[in-house]
Amino acid sequence: MLCYVTDRHALRIANPADSLGALTQKIEELMAAGIDWVQIREKDLPARELSYVTRQALRIAAKHSAEHSSAIRVLVNDRLDVAISEQADGVHLGEKSVPVAEAKRLIASAIRKQIIRESFLLGASCHSIEAAQAAERHGADYIFFGPIFATPSKAAFGKPQGLACLGQVCRAVKRPVLAIGGITVENADSCIAAGATGIAAIRLFQDATDPLLAMRRLRQAVTFPRQLPADHKDDH
């Protein structure tokens, strides 16, 4: 499972005013290349513009899903209201977002009213085993765990969790766990070997000069991961 987490502010464009158009283009490039999920993580966008980006992503996903063996999913970060109103494929919550249990209740209500499909996903970012177990207990369908490796975007969460901790989380919960934070083509397979179902990243996908080649290399790495040594405590 490969998930692109968007960040239009990190796009390499000359004019910041063109960021929404550039983001839409990047989403299309990565969906055409074979990404599985796209999480729209644009926390500073007003609801109207976030809704627009979500609609564009869903339109592009519908176009490219026929080319892949499974449908491309579009998830909205944090804004459950936008995810529901635009009939996205799911919502992803941070640890400071709406509580997972409350989001689960609102999602169930929207499903009963046939506003969204039963396949609507609820994901949660977690930074500890306890948080991952709580998210699962309250109804999360999948979990992001990290940061696994050092990365500027996750520096606020402290030192990297490392592969050993990732493995512990994967064994502690039954829900799929996606590793995030400092993921590269070279270390992606080690996350899968530790037990992760997939990987999520911003720059790994967004900065790829050849998205199709990068996706092919990543797909090979996560499909045929190298085995980790028995003792990998010093893996930060």
Q: Where are the beta strands (DSSP E) in the chain?
A: 2-5, 37-40, 73-77, 90-93, 121-126, 142-145, 177-180, 198-201
Give the whole-angstrom CA distance, residue 83 versus residue 93: 11
Q: Does domain 2-223 have CATH number 3.20.20.70?
A: yes
Q: What pLDDT is attached to residue 179?
A: 97
DSSP 227: P
Q: What's the pLDDT at 55?
A: 97
Cis peptide before 147 (omega within 30 of 0): yes
Task: Work out whether the CA dihedral 10, 15, 16, 18 comes out positive or negative.
Answer: negative
Q: Residue 145 in contact with residue 154, Cβ under 8 Å?
A: no
Helix, coil or strand: residue 76: strand
What's the full length of the chain, in residues?
236
The pLDDT of residue 84: 98
What is the DSSP secondary structure assignment for residue 154, as one 8-state letter? G
Which residues share a beta bridge with 76?
A: 40, 91
Residue-wise pLDDT tens digits, 148-188: 998 766 666 668 999 999 999 999 999 999 999 999 999 99
pLDDT (0 to 100) of residue 157: 60
Give the model confidence (pLDDT) of 139-158 as tens digits: 999 999 999 998 766 666 66
Where on the phi/psi map is residue 164: left (φ > 0), alpha (ψ -120 to 50), or beta?
A: alpha
Distance CA 228, CA 230 (A): 6
Q: Tell me the chain's radius of gyration from C-alpha atoms.
A: 17
Q: Which of 55, 62, 104 is nearest to 83 (CA)?
A: 55
Q: Enter the pTM of the model.
A: 0.92
Q: What is the DSSP letter of 82?
A: H
Low-confidence ranges of the chain (pLDDT < 50): 233-234, 236
